[in-house]
Structure 1
Amino acid sequence: MSTISLSRIHFPVTTLGPGNRIGIWMQGCSIRCPGCISADTWAAGRGQTTIEQVLLAMADWFPQADGVTISGGEPFDQPNALNELLRGIRTYTKADILVFSGYPFESISQPLEGMTGLIDALISDPYEVEAPQTKALRGSDNQRLHLFTLLGQNRLSSYERPIGSEDRRFDLMMGETGEVWMAGIPARDDFERLATVLNEQHHQVLTTQDRSIRGRSGNLND
């Protein structure tokens, strides 16, 4: 099988789509939106593994998963690996597959043609730090939700709504060396408020948010 650059995988993720989901974060992003909270996934060439190994690592999760969410990084910077990964996932589960991309939908129409039936829903377009943030499952209101399949419509059409209090949640994941990863769609000042609270308690805090926006980079560490 092909190689893929992967940042991390996690289960369960409950904040990036409905139900208990497998979260897959691909490594490498050429878009690099200002204000991105996942700047640690920008660098290319890291986390090299095979798609076969990724599927094996998730095998025990598939029977329990309601869906799969693929983000990054930028999945469409690795279109061939993404296509093969999607096909592999489809052999394991009938759960819905949601993909996040920072590319405008129109610019990825060609690779999407080769993924017909593999992606149930897509959120496209770059994150805009100055744009309003009032829509569910989106970091900025310019981002669009595309529903490609009946399963996608049934599972994700409810996210065509204003953001609600139930959306202001995060999943916390602990890395082997003490990093704490947060999965979800944060409000603009969530990380700043968290850093302020922890700094007041004399914890050292470094976040993965863009240095030019928050003045910090790295991981969220206690």
Structure 2
Amino acid sequence: MTHLALSRVHFPVTSLGPGRRVGVWFQGCSIRCPGCVSLDTWAMRAPETAVATLLDGLQAIAPEADGLTVSGGEPFDQPEALHALLLGWRTRHQGTVLVYSGYPYETLTPRLAVWNGLIDALITDPLRLDVPQTLPLRGSDNQRFHLFTEAGRSAFTNWDRPQPDAPPSLDVMVDAEAGTVYLAGIPRRGDMTRLAERLAAAGHRLAVTEDKSASACW
């Protein structure tokens, strides 16, 4: 049975692709881009979640979802688990699949060649703080959008061009058991730091997972 190191799952996610999507975040990242806003997903952990169990848990919400977005962490650091998740999703749902990776596309090409049809859209390449951020769904404009299927081209073509008038969109996710609030989406540069500062000024304590070592570059 295939297992994965899982960070979190959330539904609905509306800021990482069109419609109401299931969001799955893998835990562990070997790339660790300066400026990343998801430091909590960097640490490597043992793969303790059975992919089959995760898919069973998604079964109830899959009919209400417009698609699946997989991020992290770095999903391709766990290729067997990623493949099992995508294959299982395809047997249960026809919605589009968007996957994020910090690896260059050329590094992933051999694996993607035998994953035909499992991914509709893929965003690749590392976050770079020396590159502008004007394109939707990306932290920097060097990150490339790859559309592999007709469904992907239909759903994501308009997301591969600048949308200067579109306001930033973030989903608020609450883990009541842990007492933790997460924001899903692609914030503008410095948004998380500004949020922390404003909440602190109002008397609230907030810890954010933005890479503070790179904050001067934002």
TM-score scaled by length of structure 2: 0.95
* CA shift digits 1:64-116 (9 cap, x unpaired): 00010000000100111111110000011000000000000001111112211
C-alpha deviation, 1:163, in angstroms? 3.2
CA shift at 1:130, angstroms? 2.4
| Whole-angstrom distance in 2 between the partners of 1:146 and 1:214 | 29
> How far did residue 167 of structure 1 move?
4.7
- Whether the 8 Å contact between 2:193 and 2:210 is mirrored in structure 1 is no
Equivalent residues of 1:99, 1:121 under 8 A apart: yes
1:136–1:164 Cα contact (<8 Å) kept: no
Cα deviation per residue 1:138-176 (whole Å; 9 max; x = unaligned)?
A: 110000000000000000111111134435011000112
Q: Distance in 2 between matches of 1:138 and 1:131?
A: 11
Query: Which residue of structure 2 aligns with residue 219 of structure 1?
Result: none
Secondary structure in 2 matching 1:35: coil
Q: What is the one-letter code of the residue matched to 1:200?
A: A
Q: Which residue of 2 aligns with 1:133?
A: 133
C-alpha deviation, 1:129, in angstroms: 1.9
How far apart are 1:45 and its partner, in Å?
A: 1.5
Amino acid at match of 1:81: A
**1-structure distance, mates of 2:75, 2:214:** 24
Counterparts in 2 of 1:126-205, with a 5 A limit? 126-175=126-175, 176-205=177-206
> In 2, Cα distance between the equivalents of 1:79 and 1:4?
10
Q: Which runs of 5+ in 2 are unaligned?
A: none
Give the match's secondary structure for 2:166: helix
Partner of 1:21: 21
* Aligned-partner Cα distance in 2 for 1:46–1:167: 38
What residue identity is the alignment partner of 2:67?
G
Q: Identity, % of aligned pairs?
A: 50
Paired letter, 2:193:
E
Cα pair distance change 1:164/1:22, threshold 3 Å? farther
Q: Within 5 Å, which residues of 2 pair with 1:36-55?
A: 36-46=36-46, 48-55=48-55
User: Which residue identity does 2:60 align to in structure 1?
Assistant: D
Cα offsets for 1:34-58 (capped at 9, x unmatched): 0100111011115621001110111
Equivalent positions of 1:81-120 (< 5 A) are: 81-120=81-120
Corresponding residue for 1:4?
4
1:71 maps to 71
Which residue identity is paired with 2:140?
Answer: S
Show structure 1 runs of 4+ deviating over 6 A. Answer: none
Query: In the aligned structure 2, how far is the partner of 1:67 from the partner of 1:78?
Result: 21
Gaps of 5+ in 1: 216-222
SS at match of 1:156: helix
**Distance (whole Å) between structure 1 residues aligned to residue 136 and residue 148 of structure 2:** 18
